Amino acid sequence: MKSPINRLVAASVALLASVACCPVFGGDMLRLESPSLELRFDSSSGTLLAVGNKLTGETYNIAGDRFSVETTDFRVGFRDVKPVSVRAEAGRVECVYAHDRLGVEVAYTLDARQHFAEKRVTLTFKQPCGVKQIVIGEPSFSGVDLQLVAYRYPKFMREPGAEPICTYFGRTGKGGFFTGIEMPFDASTTSKQQVVLGYRPSLKVAAGEKLVCEPVYFGVYRRGPQDQEEKNLPLKAESEAMVAMTSAILGPPRHGLVPMACGWHSEMSHVTFRSAQDVEADMKSLDFLAQCGVDWLSDSHPWGGETEKMHGLRDDQPYRLGDLYRRFLEHARQAGVKVAMWGTLNNSHPWGNGGRPYRSDKPEWLMTIAKENYRTNPIVLGAKGNCLAIRPFEDWLTRVNLEGLATGYYPSWAIDGDFFGAGGWYTSVIPVTCTSDRHDHLPGDSNYGCQRALQRLIDTVRRHYPKTYIFMCRPPMDLGVWSLRNVDVCFTLLETGTGDNLTAGDQIRRWSRTRVQRDFFPHYLDQPLVFPSREDGPGKPPNWPKGHLDYVLLSALSSSPNQLYYLPTKSGIPDKDKAEIRHWLDWGRKHVEYLKVRKDLTNWPAPNKVDGSAHVIGARGLVFLFNPTQKPLDGQFALTEQSIGLQGPGRFRVSQLYPPAQRGVQLAFAETVRWQVPEQTALILELQPAR
């Protein structure tokens, strides 16, 4: 049974029939096939020779599908290894290569339902060494009218030395392919028609150690009618194919509607509870959230505020909740508010309250950064933290996190802070260089070691607590989509604050489109920020935005089933606003299956345009229309699979659900709906088969 997400994925890449994905031998060629993609291999060397795009009927020939490994002691290139075996089974081609110092396995996999394949290299080292650079492949592509485009994202990464993720698109007039490494901070390069797909692990390995390398993807797409080229941006068809791939790899949503309050920005305690009054004040904040229908909370202070206890823990001491904090969690349970345990990576409180690195009995676990590398960055210069790329430290940190979750009070788990031991604020986008020679990384570049440790921590939490709602702030919010394996939601970067709910709603939709269409997030991993109001100064209440609550809430609900709220839980808001928030969140809970799918209408939020999104499962769904302009305007969309994800044929009834109105039309599949949207209004249409 396909989930709604899979249906959307299928719709956006077209033509996925239930054909088995079997390798086929033909002459000296070996093939992997799905209904949209074909990979052809040399059956003696196991190298990829061509990518066939069945959506367009094109073939992109490949030369130089080689790997290489550079270590501190030796370099092994493709010419140095001997193919031992090339094996093929359903959906998989596996090649084994031999070398005196290294065992190499290369596996290509293609799921029969998918439009992309993955290549994974596994290295087994026969002697200890330091792994400096790995090249997974260096294919040169050739094809009719083929143009190679390197696209880097997320765009905000502009710190010196930080090269964000890169996807390479091969474009023709009909469609094309895409390839890249599934990781942030890779070291891939391109020249003319060649792509070198590589990264710098900068890791020490022991004799006999197996290093499973980061995967490379190859996928295909077909151009649609709306694929105009824009400088430095992916085509719409490229975005849709990329998001269909990231959705398949990262998996469908695991939860329903999750409206979460950020305790830190909701006037709750940032520091340790010292008295019953402290706890009782935050218990009232919990009641406030429950009244608003906000039934999730990210804890307002890391480790429940028990900062000193956390950096004082030793190896033989288990993590236990303090009595005052336990009282808070008990109250949350009674109020029906699910709390996210807020852990930090390498400093007990990177944002103040006397936070320090963990385990002062292990000074050798501290990160030693070369200060001269970060001269312009005061946050890094002021940071102090443990180096994550130390296995015994990682094991200790993992144990403490699992002990926290084992208390049974946390349906959710969050990580925040950067790899340096500071609070972040864009510092996570600078690669970490730890100069210690006693850690698991090579002295210098410790970035991949840190990323790998964080991913292992996330994977371990998922394995032990499969139903936990895993919420990421930093570092993943800076690192992008490939740091979100096993994650349920990633905080947005829009926390600058806006004055009114109309502007805020437009920003929410624009940023969410950016993360989906340009950064390739599945929309349900996004977490729009609602009411990013800031306090005007100490003791002054936040500037609570008045009016148009429906506009901002529907902007967020249409963007993702997950949202984060900053709410003035102590200075308060009008009761009617509380009731309206609750009304829309209850509405979202009722319609959440539709919110888990999304197809954006063509226009981006802009003056004099109606934008919106469609949320359709089969022959039923919702369409949101937004008019930010001070005059009525028409919105329009076609009743097609391409436009809104609708399954035809047939006749459909379109009626206005909100604002309440007796407006409805009946139209046939493929006809265009035109609907007037009043000025500065959010409107919901319901779509169903006509009776």
Q: Give contact residues for Zn ion (rule: CB under 5 A).
A: 387, 434, 436, 439, 446
Closest to Zn ion by CB, 252 vs 443, is 443
Q: Which is nearer to Zn ion, 377 or 436 (CB)?
A: 436
Amino acid at 333: R
According to DSSP, the β-strands at 562-565 and 529-530 are parallel
Min dist CB 430 to Zn ion, Å, is 15
Dihedral of the CA atoms 250, 256, 261, 264 (nearest 10)?
Answer: -30
Q: Which residue, 440 or 526, is less far from Zn ion as judged by CB?
A: 440
Nearer to Zn ion, 34 or 436 (CB): 436
Alpha helices for 256-390 (secondary structure H) = 276-292, 307-312, 323-335, 378-381
How many C-beta neighbours within 10 Å does residue 453 have? 26
Closest CA to 205 of 25, 332, 391, 401: 391
Instruction: Output helix, strand, coil percentages for the chain, rounded to the nearest 5.
Output: 25, 30, 45
Distance CA 196, CA 189 (A): 5
- The residues facing 24 across adjacent strands are 31
DSSP secondary structure code for residue 493 in this structure: S
Q: Minimum CB separation from Zn ion for residue 173, in Å?
A: 49
Beta bridge partners of 89: 92
For Zn ion, which is the closer residue by CB, 335 or 434? 434
- For the bound state, the minimum distance from the C-beta of residue 446 to Zn ion, rounded and expressed in Å, comes to 5
Side-chain half-sphere of 153: how many Cα atoms within 13 Å? 23
Shorter beta-carbon distance to Zn ion: residue 126 or 438: 438
Shortest gap between Cβ of 204 and Zn ion (angstroms)? Answer: 11
Residue ranges of alpha helices (H) inside 251-353 are 276-292, 307-312, 323-335
CB of 258 to Zn ion, least distance (A): 35
User: Which of 351, 474, 343, 344 has the alpha carbon at shortest distance from 413?
Assistant: 343
Largest pairwise CA distance in the chain? 79
Rounded to the nearest whole angstrom, what is the least distance from the CB of residue 371 to Zn ion in the complex?
15
Q: Which is nearer to Zn ion, 86 or 434 (CB)?
A: 434
| Beta carbon of residue 420, minimum distance to Zn ion (angstroms, whole number) | 11
Of residues 559, 563, 527, the one with CA closest to residue 682: 559
Q: How far is the CB of 435 from Zn ion (least distance, A)?
A: 8
Q: Which secondary structure element, helix H or strand E, spans residue 559, and what is its range?
A: helix 549-559
The token pair that represents 691 in the structure block: 């009776």
Contact 397, 357 (CB under 8 A): no
- Beta carbon of residue 349, minimum distance to Zn ion (angstroms, whole number): 21
Distance between CA atoms of 526 and 488, rounded to whole angstroms? 9
Q: Are 137 and 67 in contact (CB under 8 A)?
A: yes
What minimum distance in Å lies between the beta carbon of 444 and Zn ion?
9
**Closest separation between CB of residue 302 and Zn ion, Å?**
22
Buried b (16+ CB within 10 A) or exposed e, 282-300: bbebbebbbebbbbbbbbb
Nearest to 45 by CA among 103, 85, 92: 85
Q: Which is nearer to Zn ion, 312 or 443 (CB)?
A: 443
For the chain, how many residues are written?
Answer: 691
**Nearest approach, Cβ of 362 to Zn ion (angstroms)?**
13
If we measure between CA atoms, which residue out of 517, 631, 446 comes closest to residue 151?
A: 517
